[in-house]
């Protein structure tokens, strides 16, 4: 297996204004180039080449580690901010209670982010993306 130059590869939705804002911040903070950012909304992105579906990538944040293993959800953000030098601020998010609360809040946000950022064509229980053919639960 080839050695990876990055600590993690973060898969993000570049069509999500809030997601893009955070990725831009992280790119500025990543002075050591420890993170590889992959935009899942890019026309050239193929989810299946990464062993996942587009819907899986859209449902929650994913990151792949150099050994090929995956982390998702809040753990991705913990690792991202640790990689850019904010590890001392990350440890409280691992405390019992806080950890579960953050996981819950992230899942609520992840489920609603498409409608919150104005990307749904309808407002029922399914969100059909204007720019994509697949449906994603909102």
- pLDDT, tens digit (0-9, with 9 covering 90-100), for 70-108: 999 999 999 999 999 999 999 999 999 999 999 999 999
* 124 has pLDDT over 70: no
CB atoms within 10 A of CB 105: 11
Considering only residues 120 and 33, tell me which one the structure prediction assigns the higher pLDDT.
33
pLDDT digits (tens, 9 = 90+) for 49-78: 999 999 999 999 999 999 999 999 999 999
- Kindly report the average pLDDT of the chain as a whole number: 87
Mean of pLDDT values over 34-61: 97
| 105 within domain boundaries | yes
CB atoms within 10 A of CB 7: 20
* 127 has pLDDT over 90: no
Q: Which domain holds residue 53?
A: 8-137
* 46 has pLDDT over 50: yes
Structure tokens, 41: 């909304």
* 135 has pLDDT over 60: no
| 24 within domain boundaries | yes
**E runs forming strands in 13-95:** 35-39, 62-64, 70-72
* Confidence at 122, pLDDT banded by 50, 70, 90: low
| 51 within domain boundaries | yes
| 121 within domain boundaries | yes
| 3 within domain boundaries | no
**DSSP structure class, residue 100:** H
| 2 within domain boundaries | no
| 1 within domain boundaries | no
Number of domains in the chain: 1
């Amino acid at each position: 297996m080839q050695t990876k130059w990055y600590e993690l590869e973060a898969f993000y939705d570049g069509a999500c204004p809030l997601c893009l804002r955070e990725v831009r911040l992280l790119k500025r903070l990543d002075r050591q180039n420890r993170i590889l950012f992959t935009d899942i909304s890019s026309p050239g992105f193929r989810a299946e080449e990464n062993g996942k579906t587009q819907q899986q990538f859209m449902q929650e944040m994913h990151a792949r580690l150099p050994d090929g293993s995956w982390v998702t959800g809040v753990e991705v953000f913990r690792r991202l901010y640790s990689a850019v030098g904010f590890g001392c601020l990350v440890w409280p998010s691992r405390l019992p209670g806080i950890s579960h609360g953050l996981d819950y809040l992230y899942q609520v946000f992840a489920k609603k982010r498409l409608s919150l950022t104005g990307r749904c064509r309808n407002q029922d229980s399914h969100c059909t993306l204007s720019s994509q053919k697949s449906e994603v639960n909102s």
